[in-house]
Chains A and B, each alone.
Chain A
Amino acid sequence: MNQQTNLMAKKGLKKPSKSDRNLSWFMVIPALVIVAVFIVIPMIYSFSLSLTNMNLLKPTSTQFIGFRNYIQLFQDEIFWRAFWNTILFMTLAVNIEFIIGLFIAQMMFKVTRGQGAIRTAIMAPMMFAPVLVGFQFKWFFNDQVGLVNNLLYSLTGDYQIIPWLIHYPMNLLAILVAEIWMSTPFMVLIFLAGLVSLPTEPFEAASVDGASGWQQFRYITFPLISPFIYIAMVIRSLDLGRAYDLVRIMTGGGPANRSEMIWTYTYRLAISNNRFGLGTAMSFITVVVSFAFVIFLFRQLSKSLQEVY
């Protein structure tokens, strides 16, 4: 007997009849059709395109070339640089946003007066379009007239021209700062929702038992909001895997491909260079990696749900 049957028996439920099972399949058909039309079929189509030499300017002379696009990408030094830059950027951004977001959410949760105004202020960066944020931070990090170098000059009195957007890893760091500024509020929003929904009894009991603030956070708050943490991380990871606007505006993936990311390179291959088949192959690799990442995070999520509930 499997776990599900045991659970049903425990709750006094009968095993569903064949007609019930048929009905349940019938009920999910609309969802399956939607998934097929909007996800599965486009994915199959895009995979089939990735096996061709499709050129945007010569669509009628498209030919099937097997896995040649994938082989070419795996041998391409810039692809691997873009790939590892994206992974590094995603890992750093998600984790830093998580830490800062949790800290801010925890602080905001404790605030008793003016919470509405503070929440609005904290959310402000989310309201800007990434393109605008990109221009703003590109100007901040401009080596000649930028705010950062001028600020350093004011603080140290030493006029140093630091080309933030030129040298690796400083250029990645500059993009990271912009990304964190723009997207941490999203984490705050999710974590705050999690904190508000927590039951008060465990905290009262812990207080009676003499648990410190840190102990309450470590052993009660953190495990209870971990499902929220995983959901926020999944959403942000997928967003960051597609990082384009900020990078395009701030560095364009350069100079000399130093800050190249998967999507800046995909855009260059597929649209600027017209090599749509090759660009599609590159996007497909990204999709597969993202799937693997999401599956991993969802497994962690279901584990944490089992622990909590």
Chain B
Amino acid sequence: MKKLLFLGMVLLLVLSTSTVFGLELGRFDGTTIKACFIGGGDYEKIYEKFIPEFEELTGAKVEIVYKGNGFDIDKKMKIDFASGTVDYDVCWDHTSFFSQYLDFLEPLEGYFTQEELSDFSQKVLQYCQKNGHLWQIPRHADVSALHYRTDLFNDPENKKAFQEKFGRELKVPETWDEFKDIALFLSKPPEIYGTQFAGKEEALSGRFWDILMSHGGQILDENYKPAFNGPEGIKVTTMLRDLYQAGAMPPGMVNFLWDDVAGTFANGNIAMYTEWYGWYSYFQNPEASKVAGKFDITRQPKGDAGIHGGWAGAHCFSVTKSSKNKEAAVAFIKYITSYEPQLFEGQIGYIPVRNSVFETLIQEAEKSTDPLIKKRFELMQIQINEDFTPPPIVAEWIPISNILYPKLQAIMLGDVEVEEGLNQAAKEVALLMEEAGYYD
């Protein structure tokens, strides 16, 4: 009888709490967790593999009510929040977007222990917080490294000519000033352009931010006044304009987005540029890329402030304030951002945000015949823990970017002078922030 009672208690314990990867998830039989997630490509593999396991462990059902790309989700969530039609418990979120949704999200700090958060990159977690609350839990991150053509940098003729022209050795740039010199030097258009950047939308504003912060500049000062039109901003914009107008960047660049810049580099037309890590397998595929085996990666150049550029972002998960199943929603987030799912995502190409996952990936990479794979993971870990810096955590970042990037384009195209263009943008941003109530 005692044995039966003991077994019964054990069974009850197993049914009432589901422990996985050291996490206490709890049982949520009969609960349906509705989700609004990023979809497409490799983003969905984690759902296919781990949602059924979560359902088995907890008894909850996960129903994905919407899947779309990040910008579509942003649009949907803003409209749903504004019209009060949110019908999901968990939503995709992002370090660049979350500050727009604060009124509609559940603060998460009360649901997580310090121990549960300790394995995450603290730098990434720092940018998941605002106003003293934790609003989202990171899933994976993105930060960019300098990708450069080893064949061009090691070419004896290039080395000799560079030495003659600049009186120093041709080597991978460590500062943005060196970067500019080398980009101009290596340009032989239309075959080779010294560099490129994605030239529109947030892709351009973000790169501007990348270099601006490395020079010690800011988009907004501590009083939320525009600060990007100071000396640092002028220096960055002048570099962009000079490189574009000198033909060291492809003429069509001001219409390029991510796939365009990756395609141009893979086509062998670019000497060096800053790029996200996600394109690695494409660049190393000799059937699709002319630069396979001919490039290397390193940390981004430093600016005048001695800082490495680190424009970054992290894909995250949040719980909606209107959710009726917050405990279950949090359990799902804990599970999907735990070690195993993150390792799985790291193995298919995403940058994990847990240090334990990096350690495993680096150990696995030691067995690879491609030494760049190990170097890549080590570099990622350094950047995620040291360089990771998203744009200003304000709800107005995308509207600010929408003001800024057409002005940057106009400056690069020669429609307006550097200082005048930046001042015009600053004036519009100040008006935007004033209307948003920052100066009341």
A residues bordering B, Cβ < 8 Å?
53, 55-59, 142-145, 159, 161, 163-166, 251-252, 254-257, 268, 271-276
Contacts and interface: CB of A to CB of B under 8 A. Distances in A.
B39 interface: no
A142 B78 contact: no
A166 B413 contact: yes
Contacts of B399: 272-275
B243 to A, nearest CB: 15
Contacts of B200: 252, 254-255
Contact of A165 (B100, B252, B407, B413): B252
Nearest to B432: A273
B263 A145 contact: yes
A56 B79 contact: yes
Interface in B56-89: 75, 78-79, 81-83
Contact count band on B = 35 or more
A254 B83 CA distance: 31
A145 B402 contact: no
Contact of B402 (A255, A256, A273): A273
A36 B52 CA distance: 48
Contacts of B81: 56-57, 59
B255 A251 contact: yes
B413 A256 contact: yes
29 contacts: A56-B79, A56-B82, A57-B82, A57-B100, A57-B101, A142-B252, A143-B252, A144-B264, A159-B190, A161-B190, A164-B252, A252-B255, A254-B200, A254-B254, A254-B405, A255-B199, A255-B406, A255-B409, A255-B413, A256-B407, A256-B409, A257-B406, A268-B402, A272-B399, A272-B402, A273-B398, A273-B402, A273-B432, A274-B100
B138 interface: no
Tell me the interface secondary structure of chain A in the complex. Answer: loop
A252 B203 CA distance: 13
Nearest to A163: B251
Contacts of B405: 254
B239 interface: no
A166 B252 contact: yes
Contacts of B415: 256
Given A56-B81, A144-B269, 6 more contacts: A142-B260, A163-B251, A166-B255, A254-B406, A255-B406, A273-B398
Interface string B289-310: 0000000000000000000000
Determine which residue in B78, B189, B263 has the highest number of CB atoms from chain A within 10 A of its CB, and name it.
Answer: B78
Interface string B379-417: 000000000000000010011001001110110010100
B79 to A, nearest CB: 7
The 4 A-B residue pairs whose C-beta atoms are closest, nearest first, are A256-B410, A163-B251, A143-B252, A255-B254
